[in-house]
């Protein structure tokens, strides 16, 4: 069992996980900024905490989602943060992201603070990684030691974002295929990382098909609890405002806990992709949902391991990529390139 050490910082108390989950991948290491920007985690965490506690209770879930959507496209290189520019078609306009992913202003605020204290040092990709971990911890979840040293990519891939990111209406087989393509396990990693839906919100348009015309049947998804179905139909009427928000977890929507899995057992998963983990007959994910529902400690332990794996999908290190001065655009003239090789996206 890992032990915890309480450390006082300039803004709040942090829990640092000692042992058990520490891992270095390639040139990534928890000590990467020890000499060049020793307070990087404090700065990122302090800003996330300030926004979370004063203006935006949704920001923690939004920041971890940014990290997830970044890593699943081109690896964890900050590509999701890039705006449209010469040679770059932004991933923000991809179907899974448009009018959906958020938190870019908070990332900008973090980057500005770090550029003031440690100019040209901390990558935007590492900012997303740290912000995701701090967001989980500040919402009641586990903390873990973060391997750092990622560099920022100079290209974006809208097409990849359209096809490689898991979608809320997908079957279990399709979800497994997408996780396998990223080198993640199709059972434990899939279920553990899906557990990030234990906090946050989603728009009605992302699940309304389940409420009225599931897979073209003209009827609701039979795996939805009837009482929960009525609640969602009242919130999201046919022909209503598709941008209305629903809690991903109807019990503790702003806390990181194991209730997501208990909800699945009660057929109260908001997305089809959530409920598939428990309601797909004979699926190997059912036993994992049951075990995480029974033990928050086990869920937290598995979640940390899976987050570390996901955070190390194809990072740029060494002299690859760059350290962006502005997370929204590449340095120089804004033309997308990677070691001199032009790559376009459509």
Q: Which of 120, 108, 189, 186 is nearest to 151 (CA)?
A: 120
Residues in Cβ contact with 315 at an 8 Å cutoff, skipping those fewer than 6 apart: 25, 26, 28, 75, 76, 77, 125, 149, 150, 151
284 is in an annotated binding site: no
79 is in an annotated binding site: yes
* Residues 250-284 as b or e (16 or more Cβ within 10 Å = b): eebbbebbbbbbbbbeebbbbbbbbbbbbbbeebe
Orientation of helix 285-294 relative to helix 296-310, angle to 10°: 120
Orientation of helix 104-117 relative to helix 40-54, angle to 10°: 140
C-alpha span between 342 and 346 (Å, rounded)? 14
252 is in an annotated binding site: yes
166 is in an annotated binding site: yes
- Residues 235 and 204 sit within 8 Å (Cβ to Cβ): yes
Collapsing DSSP to helix, strand or coil, 7 comes out as strand
77 is in an annotated binding site: yes
75 is in an annotated binding site: yes
Q: Please indicate whether residue 69 is annotated as part of the active site.
A: yes
- Residues 70 and 320 sit within 8 Å (Cβ to Cβ): no
Q: How far does CA 217 lie from the centroid of its chain? A: 32
Orientation of helix 59-71 relative to helix 40-54, angle to 10°: 130
280 is in an annotated binding site: no
89 is in an annotated binding site: no
How crowded is the C-beta side of 8, counted as CA atoms within 13 Å?
0
Give the active site residue among 58, 65, 67, 69: 69
Measure the N-to-C terminal CA separation of the chain; round to a whole number of Å: 47
C-alpha span between 245 and 235 (Å, rounded)? 8
221 is in an annotated binding site: no
83 is in an annotated binding site: no
86 is in an annotated binding site: no
C-alpha span between 41 and 239 (Å, rounded)? 45
281 is in an annotated binding site: no
What percentage of the chain's residues is helix, strand, coil (to nearest 5)? 45, 10, 45
Residue list, annotated binding site: 70, 73, 75, 77, 79, 91, 166, 197-198, 249, 252, 257
Residue list, annotated binding site for heme b: 197
> Which residues are the active-site residues?
69
Residue list, annotated binding site for substrate: 166
Residue list, annotated binding site for Ca(2+): 70, 73, 75, 77, 79, 91, 198, 249, 252, 257
């Amino acid at each position: 069992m890992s032990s915890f050490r309480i450390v006082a910082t300039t803004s709040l108390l942090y829990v640092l996980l000692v042992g058990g989950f520490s891992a270095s991948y390639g040139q990534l290491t928890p000590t990467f900024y020890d000499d060049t920007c020793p307070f990087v985690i404090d700065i990122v965490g302090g800003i996330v905490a300030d926004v979370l506690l004063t203006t935006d209770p949704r920001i923690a879930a939004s920041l971890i989602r940014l990290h997830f959507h970044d890593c699943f496209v081109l690896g964890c290189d900050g590509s999701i943060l890039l705006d449209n520019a010469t040679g770059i078609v932004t991933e923000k306009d991809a179907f899974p992201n448009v009018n959906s992913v958020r938190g870019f202003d908070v990332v900008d605020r973090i980057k500005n603070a770090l550029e003031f204290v440690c100019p040209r040092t901390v990558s935007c990709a590492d900012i997303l990684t740290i912000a995701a971990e701090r967001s989980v911890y500040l919402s009641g979840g586990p903390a873990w030691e973060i391997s750092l040293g990622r560099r920022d990519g100079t290209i974006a891939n809208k097409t990849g974002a359209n096809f490689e990111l898991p979608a809320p209406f997908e079957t279990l087989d399709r979800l497994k295929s997408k996780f396998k393509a990223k080198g993640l396990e199709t059972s434990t990693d899939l279920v553990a990382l899906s557990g990030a839906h234990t906090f946050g919100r989603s728009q009605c348009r992302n699940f309304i098909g389940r409420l009225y015309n599931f897979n073209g049947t003209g009827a609701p998804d039979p795996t939805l609890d009837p009482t929960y179905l009525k609640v969602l139909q009242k919130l999201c009427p046919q022909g209503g405002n598709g941008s209305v928000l629903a809690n991903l977890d109807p019990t503790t929507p702003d806390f990181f806990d194991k209730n997501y899995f208990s909800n699945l057992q009660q057929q109260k998963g908001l997305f089809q992709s959530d409920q598939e983990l428990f309601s797909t007959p004979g699926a190997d994910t059912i036993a994992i949902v049951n075990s995480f529902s029974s033990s928050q400690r086990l869920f937290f332990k598995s979640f940390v391991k899976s987050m570390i794996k996901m955070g190390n999908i194809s990072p740029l290190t060494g002299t690859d990529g760059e350290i962006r001065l502005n997370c929204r655009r590449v340095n120089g003239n804004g033309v997308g390139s990677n070691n001199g090789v032009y790559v376009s996206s459509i």
